[in-house]
Amino acid sequence: MTEAIKNSLRDSKKARWTALVVVSLSMFGAYFFNYALSPVKPMLESILGWTSSDFGIYTSSYTWFNVFLFMLIFSGIILDKMGIRFTGLAATSMMAIGTGLNYWALIHVFPDGATIFGIKTQVVISAIGFGIFGVGTEAGGITVSKAVVKWFKGKEMALAMGLQMSIARLGTALALGIALPVAKSYNFTSPVLLAFVFMLIALGAFIIYTFMDRKLDTSIATTIDVGTEEDKFELKDILFIIKNKGFWYIAILCVLFYSAVFPFLFYATDLMINKYQVNPNLAGAIPALLPFGTIFLTPLFGTIYDRKGKGATIMIIGSLILIVVHGILTIPFLTSWWVATVMVIVLGIGFSLVPAAMWPSVPKIIPEKQLGTAYAVIFWIQNIGLWAIPLLLGIILDSTNPQVSPNKTLVRDAITDAYMAKFSNNTYQFSEKDIARMAERASSMTIDSIVQVTNYEPVSNADLNREDLKKNISEVTAKGLVGITTVGDEDAFKETVKKTTVKAVFPLIEGKKLNLRYDYFYDLVLFTSLGIVSLLFAFLLKAEDRKKGYGLELPNIAEKAEEIKEQS
């Protein structure tokens, strides 16, 4: 039987590594869209009037259907019953559909004040699209994980999983790095449109993979007897999974660790702007260092696990790094941009360590025929955290900074009023949509400038006459626009209008000490707490491995593991 297995397609290095690259491309677009709107959060607030709670609802919606309709559990069962090809094609199709719906919701103009269950209609429909995308992405994630195990079991499995994550996280890094500059250069919806293109590429990549997977099945079928009754997944196998204590330690460690990293990335660009006063055009580059770091380090740590073992120990070290990073970011007086940069790099190291050891450890605890369901249960639990934590972060941010979102809306509305009065006549021939867009850009740049360069202690809204302030902002805006004409290039004219507005409004807001800056202290305390609890479960997992002999501390490459067993 051993000789037969060696003659299968996966014994070909070229074949299995090619399959890895192709199947990984299907997740690149997913990771891009997951964070495509995160750097654009300030624009969603200044242009669409979203609050941090709205953004929290949107980001948490990724998990709605997976958690509350148990779609992830069903995806795992479908994967084990129907196979990789069927599940992967369905998953990538849903990713594309969800992204398309999200884009439509953002470009569609809804009636003022339109709500569904008290939530802005635009937010709800965007969230539904993101939720559908989430179903596809998570189903795709477990499908890709099982595909990697299928091609690399007994071989360089941790390295393969690390490289798969690296390719996917290129999408995250790209989103964090370019989304805001692209949005400012073109339109705030442009990153989502780009994501939709990537989704179509993802679908095409998985179609190509299905041919490779079918060829692998054929090669295996000619050498060993696959699909026997004892190898087929049955629903009763779920009981084996949920009774396994080691499985639960990994699942809980997963939700704690990922909840302390992924939601952080959702808010990281805004954090860089508000606490560390980084230029908004560059703010996304700092959190982008995290996935860029994992791109190189996750395969490295995966190789170490393949050849040296120490999986449980690696997870402990990663959890310790998590505590140190978030703890330092929490310190109020450390506001230098280089502190944030160093901490993000270190967090990237921690985030490379844990996944590199975590995902290859699951097949050591759970049999291959149950892997789809096992990964699905882990991802489902992870999704509970990815639903609750972003939602909680938004609520905490709004409740501890209740004045910021209304003040941003005030600035936008005041500038819009001045622009409507100035540019809505036939002389300029701008539509209301054009004028609103100009006002949105100007108000966004004004707010960004205040947050980036000022350090005043803001006054309470109770000490401000908000109506007078709004009127004053409109008046100084209108006064600053006197004498500006449309002679020459239209884009140059709009840029002049924007810069003139910022120059006129900035001193007024600074003088009134209007609160436009978010304080992230309590959100960072939450992240630090998650790191502390994850460390506890990492130690529990190591103790369980020592007790049950899962081999988490042994290498993944079979020959290396046998050598260590013989030496001990």
Whether 485 and 423 map to the same domain: the answer is yes
pLDDT at 565: 65
Whether 496 and 551 map to the same domain: the answer is no
Whether 447 and 298 map to the same domain: the answer is no
Give the mean model confidence (pLDDT) for residues 404-418: 91
Range of the domain at 497: 404-512
Q: What is d(CA 126, CA 3) in angstroms, rounded to the nearest whole number?
A: 53
pLDDT band at 344 (very low <50, low <70, confident <90, very high): very high
Going from the C-alpha of 71 to that of each of 91, 119, 145, 272, 379, the distances in angstroms are 11, 24, 17, 35, 11
Whether 434 and 447 map to the same domain: the answer is yes
Given a contact cutoff of 8 angstroms between Cβ atoms, the answer to whether 57 and 394 are in contact is yes
Whether 416 and 383 map to the same domain: the answer is no
User: Tokens 């978010």 correspond to what residue?
Assistant: 518
Using a pLDDT cut of 90, give the percent of the chain over it. 34
Terminal CA-CA length for the chain: 28
Burial of 319 (0-12, 13-18, 19+ CB in 10 A): buried
Does pTM top 0.85 for this prediction? no
Of 466, 490, 512, which residue sits at a domain end? 512
Evaluate if residue 473 carries a pLDDT over 90.
yes
pLDDT at 1: 37
CATH classification of the domain holding 531: 1.20.1250.20
Task: State the total domains in the chain.
Answer: 2
Tens of pLDDT, residue by residue over 134-160, are 999 989 988 998 888 888 877 777 788
Whether 330 and 411 map to the same domain: the answer is no
Whether 428 and 544 map to the same domain: the answer is no
3-state secondary structure of 486: coil
pLDDT at 235: 60
Of 512, 531, 556, which residue sits at a domain end? 512
Strand partners, 497: none
CB environment 192-220: b (16+ within 10 A), e (fewer): bbbbbebbeebbebbeebbebbeebbebb
Whether 41 and 171 map to the same domain: the answer is yes
pLDDT at 100: 94
Whether 274 and 205 map to the same domain: the answer is yes
123 CB-near residues (< 8 Å, 6+ apart) = 50, 54, 57, 58
CA atoms in the 13 A half-sphere facing the CB of 152? 28
pLDDT at 116: 87
Evaluate if residue 560 carries a pLDDT over 70.
no
DSSP code, position 83 = -
Q: What is d(CA 567, CA 27) in angstroms, rounded to the nearest whole number?
A: 40
Whether 506 and 529 map to the same domain: the answer is no
pLDDT at 232: 59
Whether 285 and 321 map to the same domain: the answer is yes
pLDDT at 237: 65
Evaluate if residue 227 carries a pLDDT over 60.
no
pLDDT band at 221 (very low <50, low <70, confident <90, very high): low
Whether 362 and 388 map to the same domain: the answer is yes
Q: Cα 505 to the chain's mean position, in Å?
A: 35
pLDDT at 6: 47
Tens of pLDDT, residue by residue over 277-321, are 888 878 888 887 887 777 778 788 878 888 888 888 989 999 999
Q: What is d(CA 402, CA 419) in angstroms, rounded to the nearest whole number?
A: 28
